[in-house]
């Protein structure tokens, strides 16, 4: 499984320790969720049981080229997809990428996620809890296909992560007005 992303810079030591506490709490939450999900790995199954654990704790992330096909699949515009279902996030404040929001994050979609909200709990906005499945399954990113809880050899390879495919300019292809102030060394350390 992938590690939670880190995305803070220029913070005071107390802010850093607050974020460490949030990270520890999130990791604890994910450990607790293992007991509540029918994960293939717990039963030595080699086939996904669609339990939703990874869609909760480690949602897949799309490459830039994987976003338009999802809009097409949902028969909505790219702007509508981003405004309703995506947030801009970063691992280093140098490159930003778009990822699926989580359930409950509908109030912050279409923009940079406030860093503290990256610790929000809940399933990916596209996970159907009743049917136990992905609402965009045919158009889901490759990262979703490589995540296998019973075999994490591929998912540990950062080259295969959707976020690794993003360059610094890509965010402007999707959010032309994205603020340059968000980038490292801009002087902005808002949290
Ligand atoms: S791959 Fe993910 S959704 Fe499938 S069984 Fe494992 S944890 Fe559950
Ligand atoms: S897009 Fe689908 S596969 Fe990916 S995290 Fe969301 S629900 Fe899971």
Residue pLDDT, tens place only, 18-49: 889 999 999 999 999 999 999 999 999 999 99
Q: What is the mean pLDDT of residues 144-151?
A: 91
Distance CA 28, CA 48 (A): 23
pTM of the model: 0.89
* Angle made by CA atoms 73, 56, 32, in degrees to the nearest 5: 165
Instruction: For residue 4, report the distance from its CA to the centre of ligand 2, in Å.
Output: 16
Instruction: For residue 74, report the distance from its CA to the centre of ligand 1, in Å.
Output: 24
């Amino acid at each position: 499984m992938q590690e939670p992303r880190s995305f803070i810079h220029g913070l005071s030591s107390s802010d850093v320790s607050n974020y460490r506490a949030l990270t520890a709490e999130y990791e604890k939450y994910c450990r607790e969720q293992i007991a509540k999900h029918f994960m293939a790995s717990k039963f030595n199954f080699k086939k996904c049981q669609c339990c939703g654990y990874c869609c909760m704790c480690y949602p897949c992330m799309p490459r830039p080229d994987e976003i338009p096909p999802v809009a097409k699949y949902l028969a909505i515009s790219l702007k509508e997809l981003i405004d309703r279902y995506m947030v801009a996030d970063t691992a280093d404040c140098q490159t930003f990428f778009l990822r699926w929001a989580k359930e409950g994050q509908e109030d912050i979609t279409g923009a940079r996620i406030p860093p503290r909200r990256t610790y929000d709990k809940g399933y990916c906005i596209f996970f159907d809890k009743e049917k136990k499945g992905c609402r965009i399954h045919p158009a889901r990113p490759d990262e979703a296909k490589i995540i296998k809880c019973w075999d994490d050899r591929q998912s540990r390879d950062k080259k295969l992560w959707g976020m690794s495919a993003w360059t610094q300019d890509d965010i402007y292809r999707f959010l032309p007005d994205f603020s340059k102030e968000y980038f490292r060394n801009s002087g902005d350390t808002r949290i």
